Amino acid sequence: MKLLEIVVEPRLVSATAYYLGADPASVDGLEYAYLEGEQGVQTEMKAGFEVDGVSIKARVDFGAGFVDYRAFQRNPGA
């Protein structure tokens, strides 16, 4: 039985600190939602006139937040 899964994130800079997150099937710790009618990525394209090319803009309209602080823990390490 596998109790923990190691996930490495290079943007976390501490050499000793580590984080634990609960199984999402066990506890709702973080929730996110899209704006009504805006599911997924919205894209817009604009053809270039002065240059041969196309500009593409992409956006995702959503919000996220913690709903239960007990789902995540940070340990500063040794």
Measure CA 46 to chain center.
28
Q: What is the pLDDT of residues 9-63, one digit of tens each?
A: 889 888 889 889 888 888 899 999 988 888 889 999 999 888 889 999 999 999 9
**DSSP H or E segment with residue 21:** strand 18-21
Half-sphere exposure of 54 (CA within 13 A, CB side): 5
The pLDDT of residue 7: 85
- Examine residue 16 and state whether it is found in any structural domain, yes or no: no
- pLDDT confidence of 1, banded at 50, 70, 90? low
Q: How many domains does the chain have?
A: 1
- Examine residue 46 and state whether it is found in any structural domain, yes or no: yes
| Residue 8, pLDDT above cutoff 90 | no
Distance between CA atoms of residues 39 and 43, nearest Å:
12
Q: Which domain holds residue 34?
A: 23-68
The pLDDT of residue 45: 94
Distance between CA atoms of residues 30 and 22, nearest Å:
10
The DSSP letter of residue 35 is P
pTM for this predicted structure: 0.54
The pLDDT of residue 40: 87
- Examine residue 11 and state whether it is found in any structural domain, yes or no: no
- Examine residue 14 and state whether it is found in any structural domain, yes or no: no
- Examine residue 75 and state whether it is found in any structural domain, yes or no: no
